[in-house]
Structure formats: structure tokens, C-alpha cells
Amino acid sequence: MKLMAGNSNQALVKNIASYLELPITEASVRRFADEEIFVEILENVRGEDVFVVQSTSYPANDNLMEVLICIDALRRASAARITAVLPYFGYARQDRKPGPRTPISAKLVANLITVAGANRVLSVDLHAGQIQGFFDIPTDNLYAAPVMSADILARFAGRNITVVSPDVGGVVRARALAKRLDNAPLAIVDKRRERPGESEVMNIIGDVAGRFCILIDDIVDSAGTLCNAAAALLEAGAEGVVAYCTHGVLSGGAVARVEKSALTELVITDSIYSEAAAAAAKIRTLTIAPLLGEAIKRIADESSVSSLFD
């Protein structure tokens, strides 16, 4: 088994390598003067089971192109099996046609990864579960819920917890977390999104008065939805609000927005590397390296991955 790193999240790859007690495969990923990406693998990978770790986060197009070229280089170097480990799968929010004459970019990216030569894909908390069906190769979707629930139970045991979904689409995710928290009550924020990146809270479905609210989502981008939801929950009588999100995209002024918000804390995972998030007082990061490392180990050993979540 070999572990190869792209440039998007070196810290996560080092932690995965430490968990697996495995060196990172020597490779050179660099750019020419015109920004073309060039990859050279500096050790023999013939007949090896290779895992390429790369989040396709900002800059999304550069990181996507990088992982495609890494996969092609491995295929041409005669690797036996190539698994694209994408802790954060970019373009996942473009998983349907929201209007006429629009693309389904998540399917296009899935096609690119497959055609490049990947034999398998491993990701964490895909924005929509059906994206697994966009790939014509085996795809494993891991869940960060066990990592988050363990942290919540360790820090907030004894509180009157209510799990809150920031929108109707995230109810299944919120219910799964609530089940792990001894079947905690569930509430839903009913919001209206007039345009991308902007949302308005309309109603709160469920009783949150006197409760400690845990907002749960897969992606925090502009953070507008979470901050508006936190303010609405406090206005409805919640005693405090903490948000847990798997992927901290945190674009634009998101970090500053979180710092000024009613949120007590925003907890994200290290699926995306962010210096701004690391320096923020209200943002804390959980590592998913052991989760990814164990899944990689089980895939290499041909053992069950789903049993990780039993």
C-alpha cells in the first residue's frame, strides 16, 4: 500500500500517514511558469495499491486538476489500484439542475475522476448521498458524525441538548446525530434562500426554549445560514448555540462573520486546511485523520468499511 499527497491538505495527509505508520510516497507536484501542473512520482509504484489524498477545496479548479494528473501519472506508472481519497468533494453542491440550461457539475467531476484512471473513491460527508451514483466505480462515503458525537458528549454531557438542522434538507443528517446523542430532541430552521450565499430564517419548527442547541450541517461556506439560525434560536429562548460542520469552506468574510455572531463556537473538521480558521477564537477543528486512516486500512485489507459506523 502507498499513500500519496496532493498539495491541498498536507497536514491531514501527514496525520493519516502517522495513523497508518506509513511513509508518504515521494512525488513532485509543481507548476510551470504558465501555471500548468506537472506531477512526477519519485519511487516505484508498479503493482501497488495507491491512495491519493486531495481535497478539491479552494482553489477548487487547481486542486481538482492536480488530483486528476496524479491519478493519470499513477495509472501510467502501472499502479495496481488507485483510490482517490477526497475528504472534501468540490462541486458537490451542483448535483442537480436548479433551472433550465444549467449543468450538473458534480456528475462531470465524477466522470473526470473515473476517466483519469481512479478505481475507487473515498470521501467524507458528501453533500448529497446520490453523488455516489454519479461514479461508475465503487465509492465510499464516510460520516463525521461519530467524531462529532464523541466530542459533543465529552464537552456538553448533562446539558439539555436539542439537535437543530439549519434547513429542511439536512434533517436526515441531524436525526442521525440526534440518535447518537441518546435520541436527543430535534428542531428544524425553516429558511428562505433568495439567491446563493444569502438566506433568511422564516420559522423554527420544534421547541428550543431553555435548550442547548447543536446546529449540524455538512458545509459552512459564507456562514450566513448558521449565523442567522443561531440568532433566531437565541431569540426563541435557546440557552446557547454551538454549530458542528464537517467541511469548513469559509469563503469571503465567513470567519469574521462567525466571530461576530451569536454562536458560542463553530466546530469543523480538518477535511479542508484553513489558516484563517486556525487563528479564529470561535472556530475549533476536529481531526478526521483516524477515520480516514482506518477506512484506507480496511479498503487495502478488503475488510468492511461500513462497520466503522455500527
Binding residues for D-ribose 5-phosphate, as ranges, are 193, 217, 221-225
CA distance 85 to 17: 13
Contact 229, 237 (CB under 8 A): no
**Cell triple for 171:** 434533517
CA distance 51 to 120: 9
Return the residue matching grid coordinates 491512495: 51
Dihedral sign computed on CA atoms, order 289, 124, 299, 176: positive
What are phi and psi for residue 46, nearest 5 degrees? -60, 125
CA distance 283 to 305: 30
What are phi and psi for residue 74, nearest 5 degrees? -65, -40
**Cell triple for 3:** 499513500
Contact 308, 145 (CB under 8 A): no
CA distance 46 to 90: 29
What are phi and psi for residue 77, nearest 5 degrees? -90, 10
Catalytic residues: 191
Enumerate long-range contacts of 201-210, CB under 8 Å, 24 or more apart: 201/228, 201/229, 201/231, 201/232, 204/232, 204/233, 204/236, 206/162, 206/164, 207/162, 208/162, 208/164, 208/233, 208/236, 208/237, 208/238, 209/236, 209/237, 209/238, 210/160, 210/237, 210/238, 210/239
Q: Which residues are annotated as a binding site?
A: 34-36, 93-94, 127, 167, 193, 217, 221-225
Q: Which residues are annotated as a binding site for ATP?
A: 34-36, 93-94
